[in-house]
Amino acid sequence: MPALGVPSTPFTFVVHALGVAVLILVLVWSIYFRGGFAWEATDKSLIFNLHPFLMVLGLVFLGGEAIISYRYLPLRKDVKKLVHLVLHAIALALGIIGIYTAFKNHNETGVANLYSLHSWIGIGVICLYGIQWIYGFLVFFYPKGSPGLRNDSVPWHVIFGLLVYILVVGNATLGFLEKLTFLESSGVEKFGSEAFLVNFTALVTLVFGAFVIFSVISQGPVEEDHSYSEI
| Percent of the chain at pLDDT exceeding 90 | 86
As beta bridge partners, residue 7 has 219
pLDDT of residue 37: 98
Cβ–Cβ under 8 Å, residues 68 and 15: yes
Is 56's pLDDT higher than 70?
Answer: yes
pLDDT digits 0-9 by tens, 65-81: 999 998 888 889 899 99
What single-letter amino acid sits at 176? F
Cβ–Cβ under 8 Å, residues 180 and 195: yes
Second-level CATH architecture of 8-217: Up-down Bundle (1.20)
pLDDT band at 222 (very low <50, low <70, confident <90, very high): low
pLDDT digits 0-9 by tens, 132-176: 999 999 999 999 999 999 999 999 999 999 999 999 999 999 999
Q: Would you kindly state where each structural domain of the chain is located, as residue ranges? A: 8-217
Look at the alpha carbons of 176, 177, 179, 180 in this order and tell me if their dihedral is positive or negative: positive
Is 46's pLDDT higher than 60?
Answer: yes
Is 228's pLDDT higher than 80?
Answer: no
Query: SS in 3 state form for 88-147?
Result: HHHHHHHHHHHHHHHHHHHHHHCCCCCCCHHHHHHHHHHHHHHHHHHHHHHHHHCCCCCH
pLDDT of residue 70: 85
| Percent of the chain at pLDDT exceeding 70 | 94
Is 225's pLDDT higher than 70?
Answer: no
What distances in angstroms separate CA 31 from CA 62, 77, 87, one per listed residue?
Answer: 21, 40, 26
